[in-house]
Amino acid sequence: MLQLYIPLNFLGVIYREIRQSLTDIERMFGLLGQHKEIDDTPDAGSLAPGPATVRFEHVDFHYDPARDILFDVDFTIPAGRTVAVVGHSGSGKSTLARLLFRFYDVTGGRITVNGVDVRDLQQDSLRRAIGIVPQDTVLFNDTLRYNIQYGNPEASPGAVEAAASAAQLDDFIARLPEGMDTRVGERGLKLSGGEKQRVAIARALLKDPAVLIFDEATSALDSKTEKAIQAQIDRAARGRTALVIAHRLSTVAHADEIIVLDQGRIVERGHHRELLAASGAYAQMWRLQQQEAHERDLETGAA
Ligand code: ATP
């Protein structure tokens, strides 16, 4: 029995390793391969460094011509401001981020950065200007330093450390056995959701991007963790143009403008207080989420 168990156990380890490597490769190709069909035009320009104003001008979009996803979406994020997009699952929030990063081209209207249509910009220059904090951060089976440096392979060790500090990772790193050189990921130290998010923020900040996109994770959190995430977002977005795709309204109550998307259409927009006073879809979502957060706090004893 023991003879059989050892090879089986060994196979299990190998299987897990191969599966993890494939996952990493798959995700990398997923990220790199999505925009293959989009080419730079011969006279595409380069985005000048510095503050960026982002405009979605009457944007329509479909992945498949048989099903429209966005309809006449029109909003501006002035340089240095934060716009949050909220709405039910499938309303098209993440699609906005994919279009801004130009994984896909709009099918109607246009998206501009400082007045220039993103289709007239070199993709490299556009993507250099945008940092993304994704819903689910991929951690490679390597050191924490490598994982942060991935945001900008040319960054100096000092810049990597500065980005880690800016993302409030100092205390966490101080507790690690080998500091920044501790291995993380599937085969190393497992990070909590909040720690992973901070690594993602450090990665994004390492690019020092004019535009920051946050795609907030969907998982339910107690209100203390929500507040910590909100503070993270506010801090990282300071001085940058930010598009926050939010699932929890409490994390975006401070946004300069909140856009409520429903089945690909903007149905409400304004500041948190205005939207609450309007007693519409946003106010209803807010009440529901406050209630749910209260119940979770009671369950976890965080209240
Ligand atoms: P969630 O809150 O669940 O993240 P979302 O509001 O961000 O949702 P999107 O991811 O933008 O929604 O998706 C909008 C719609 O587009 C959904 O109906 C989804 O099924 C569809 N969709 C998303 N990605 C693709 C794709 N690559 N091909 C075809 N349809 C897609």
Which residue ranges of the chain lie beneath pLDDT 50? 1-2, 13, 18-26, 28-36
* pLDDT given for residue 157 in this prediction: 93
Q: In this structure, are strands 183-184 and 116-117 parallel, antiparallel, or unpaired?
A: unpaired
To test the pocket of ligand 1, the residue of 36, 63, 101, 259 to mutate (highest count of ligand atoms within 8 Å of its CB) is 63
Contact 35, 123 (CB under 8 A): yes
DSSP assignment of 176-218 equals STTGGGSEESTTSBPPPHHHHHHHHHHHHHHT--SEEEEE---
CA–centroid distance, residue 90 to ligand 1 (Å): 5
Reported ipTM exceeds the 0.95 cut: yes
Contact 48, 129 (CB under 8 A): no
Q: What is the pLDDT of residues 244-271, one digit of tens each?
A: 998 888 888 889 999 999 999 999 999 9
Contact 164, 148 (CB under 8 A): yes
Ligand 1: does its nearest atom lie under 6 Å from the Cβ of 134? no
Which tokens belong to 241?
A: 């143009």
Q: What is the pLDDT of residues 280-295, one digit of tens each?
A: 999 999 999 888 878 8
DSSP class of residue 271 equals -
Contact 200, 166 (CB under 8 A): no
Q: Is 205 exposed, middle or buried (0-12, 13-18, 19+ CB in 10 A)?
A: buried
* pLDDT given for residue 181 in this prediction: 94
CA distance 82 to 243: 6
| List of residues 6+ apart from 16 with CB closer than 8 A | 186
Which tokens belong to 215?
A: 């795609």
Letter string b/e over residues 24-60, b meaning 16 or more CB atoms within 10 A of that residue's CB: beeeeeeeeeebeeeeeeeebeebeeeebbbbbbebe
Q: What is the pLDDT of residues 85-120, one digit of tens each?
A: 999 989 999 999 999 999 999 999 999 999 999 999
To test the pocket of ligand 1, the residue of 34, 91, 98, 259 to mutate (highest count of ligand atoms within 8 Å of its CB) is 91
